[in-house]
Structure 1
Amino acid sequence: MFARHGKKSIQTILFYRFLSVTAALLIIVSAIVYLIQYTKMYKNMENDIIRTSSSIGDAIDLQISQMDNICLNVINSTSVKDTFAEWSQNKNASAYERRQQQNQLNNSLVSIRGIDTSIRQVNLYSMESGGYGVGNYYGRLSKSTADLPWYKGAVEKDGYRFFQADSHPLLSRHSGTETDRFYFSLYRMYFDNYHNPAGFVEVSKYYDELFEEALSPTTSSSIDITVYDEDGRQIYPDTASGGEKHFDYFTELNSRDLSSDSARIYNDLKQQKEFVTVCPLDYSGFTVTASINNTGFYTPILASLMWIPLLALSLFVVCYFVAGFLSRRLAQPLTEMHQFLSQSDSAGKFRQISLKDSGVIEIDRLRDSLNSSIRAQEAATESLLVMKESEIQAQMLALQAQMNPHFLYNSLNTIGAMAEEGMTEEVTSMCQDITSILRYISSDKESVSTVEEELEHCSLYLNCMKMRFKDKFTYEFDIGDDLLDLKIPKLCIQLLIENSVKFVSKTAPPWHIRIEGYIDAGQWLISVKDNGPGFDPEVDRHLRSQMDEILKYSRLPSLELDGMGILNIFIRFYLLFGSSFLFQFGNLPEGGAFVIVGGRFHEKDQTL
């Protein structure tokens, strides 16, 4: 048992009771304030959407009334209708008379159109044989009236307004734009003195100008505007051009017995609930609906009310520190240790807790226990790192030790073949070159070398092959100077060249090997290409399967001396650099094989 001279137990009753009472009061008060403000914000959001849709509707109604006034002025102008009737029906009139009639039509229609530049076109149509227009296009409208898309609808209205949205290709070609401009047109059929249908009047505006307010609603809410005519046809957004299908708010809302100008509906096209407002227009008879999904509706409200929980949280923090002040000697040491353990700084992960004696047995014991655990973890980690580094170095040296006899066997076979052919001078020269190469590959001090050192010994080896095969064998180097100081695994290029010589010599000469090195998109790349038989499909699949297994499970296969070439190089790259390297191989389209090794190029130290 430990004596408790001057030390106390943890006392938290006052601290927690104070926080509990404070938290309860804050929650009750905050909930009341939140509910009051929420109700107010909810109503404001509804009113804002209703005002926005009403404002959009007023703007549309105003423009429709302007269009309709012009349409009615044309219909009520007896001189315009008479002149148009003479112009369209009197085919025997002279050219002068027709020009006079056209001028009179132009002047009359332009005068009725007035200075309102938003009216882009005013057209008069006969019942059958086309018509005449002023605006973006001046002149005869030769197409048969009965073939026009709005004809049937306008006839059914029997003189009442009819609306149509169309690209109007004839007008678009004369509007100064390179592409078709979409128009919104108002049509009325007019009658002669005996109330027989005599023709039609068309007044057109740009579609985007008419629905400008709907395109860019003056509200901070993300609402969608839909406009229907009095028959329930959707006229905004446009559906005539094969656009996106929209939910039919008009039918849905008419099927309900609404007691207000807003409703909650489920949009089965978007699979979401929406708040929808309805605004019927007095003049045009249109219906404007504004819809917003629940997320868009509630998010601004909740964002505007964030100050309430934040204020409550701030008051709670103040109370927390007051309670902490009352019990500092007990709570502060535990808080410091908690903050220390919560730190994620890997550089200081083995730093010990520097906490003075608190005077509390439990806290001091906990501190000492944690420090002891940190020291043990640090020692275990350092031991593990040393063992891992030793293991990797042993694996590298084992691979290199396998490569030394591999090269020696190949070289002795080559010397034997040259001796049989009586190439004594070449054998002597080759023995000297092989001596230099063996001195290079048998050094165990370093597992990496520079590209320049590697290429020097590769050149000695290729020179030996050249002496043996004479003109049957050629090779070339194309290595950028900025790669010469790059550190790469020792003997990796040497092995690739040996493999190429081994397999290319199995085909009919001439044999050619090309070694390239360059930097591309921040990566260094070295490739060895030959014109040999290429990779056998079965060998290709086997190599790729082994490489995938190494990357996936980090397990190194046992290597056979006769078959270690490419896989050996892959393993050496993996041991040195993990997975941050490039290794590709395959067959060339023109025949032969290629192997490419590489990695990220750092100009500062010229390493992977």
Structure 2
Amino acid sequence: MKTHSLQSKLFSAYLGMACLILFSFAVFFYIFTSNQLKESQLSAMTTLNSTFQTQTDSAIRNLDTVSVNINYSSISKTILNQTFDLNISDKMLSDMSNLFISLSGTELKADQVNLYDFSGYVLQSGLSTMVKKTDASQNEWIETAKNSHGKKVVTAPYSTCVYTKSNRYPQWFISLYRSFTNQYGRGVGVIETAKQCKSIFKSIISYEKKNRGNAASVYVFNESGDLIYPYDITEDKADNISRYYSLTDSDQDIITVQSPITDQKEYVSRLNSAYTGYTYLTIQPESVILAPAYKMLKILLAVVAAFLAAAVIVSYRLSRSVVKPVKHLKHIIQRMELDTLGQEKVTSYPVSVNELEELYQAFQLMSDNLKDSMTQLNEAKDQEMKARSMALQSQINPHFYYNSLSSIMVLAENGDTDTVEKMCRNLSRIMRYITNTAETTVTLREELDYVQKYLYCMKVRYQSSLNYSIDVDESLLDQPVPKLIIQPIVENAIKYGSDCEPPWTITISSTINQNSWQIDVTDTGPGFTEKAKKKINSDIMNVIRNPGMPALKINGLGTVNVFLRWKLFCKDDIIFRYGNTADGHGIVSIGRYFQTYAEE
């Protein structure tokens, strides 16, 4: 499993929580706002459809009212003769025009009123006032109205230049046709009331101008599937809009569709007019409806980004405030050594979290307790080493006593009282040196002075058979060494170096190198046998594997005893060698490396 740092985990947790809250709020806000906008826009579209229908129906109804009033006007029937011949005089044309204007009212419910007979003439009043032959393009509508038995017939929008002063700028009209009957109720002609499309669809046009760019698309279809509005567009656009005609058969007032033109999601408000048969479709793309939400969402995302940036900073500082003290504590632990336990006070570091402060206090308490324990352990270890050294030293004493007493006995038997006196004096000094257990460490000078007295005693014993020399560099005489560290080596040199024909010579010399110093004790005897070296090596390995004092025995302790005591004293700086010289004589060396070199 891949591990992560505590700071990265805390940072991720804090930042993740902030992101979750901010994005949850953003999603909730967007969904809530979108639903509110959709409901508001659809309600507005339904209201718009109702407004468009009311205004358009009112305009068509006005045309219908004018046609009905003309049809039932007795004055019109009086002016015209019974044969309903529209080839009338100028006075009759003026009277009929005034009549139509009065019936249209002051608001001019119809821009143009045309009265057709079945003999091919039309009486026009309004934008154009005259009597002329009927245009063949009107025959279809005249025939339809004639066969409608008095019901209104509403045309689709059409453009014409007939009612304009200039033939270059046609205008769009919608006409309402109705059959005209005489006083006997027989159909003798057709009434056409016409009005400009810009007046009929005034509310729609005004809405589109007012909301240019964001206005909903308004389409009006009649029962035949003809596009009534918009009316002044090209055939290609009309064909595209006609794809929406299928929605007129829906039984739902609000429809969600995929635009057949743009392939975008759109909302459609649908309304049918029972009077005109028109179906009003108000269509708005979802992108337009939700445009305020998108704009607000961008602002919200900017705010969220700002909050996230702040969350990153806050999360980083929070995680760092927790992790930094932990890292500080880690560095303290890494720097800590046995010699520096308890010296660095971690409780002085500022911590802002109670749990971390408790951790610091617990660590400080542990460090102090560990320091006390180590102090006690070191003291106990020093006492143990001192006790072991004194115990090893005490093992040497009987050994030397035995040899010294043997020498005095021989001198006394020979009657050499002066030598016995001098021998006893040296022995007394030697005994005082040995029995002074207050100090287990002496200088090399003191140790060599003791060895010299010891060798004198041995010289007295062996006379001319034993010779000795001590040549140690003056700079080494102040080096500290364990008491009785050289004497056992000299004693063994005399013991095993005399295993040949005399004279025997014991030499004590020193060597100083750049990194170490050592004392060499050399004899002129036959040297170490292979068996003896294996035995000594085995005893030393046993001592290393099983630290402690060797078994208490008067003889045979020299080499192992010296190694064990010198090892306790020098630790890793020890130099201890034994073997034979190039001439085959025995040599034992003790020394130590200088501390700086040992550390390297």
| TM-score w.r.t. length of structure 1 | 0.46
| TM-score w.r.t. length of structure 2 | 0.47
Larger Rg: 2
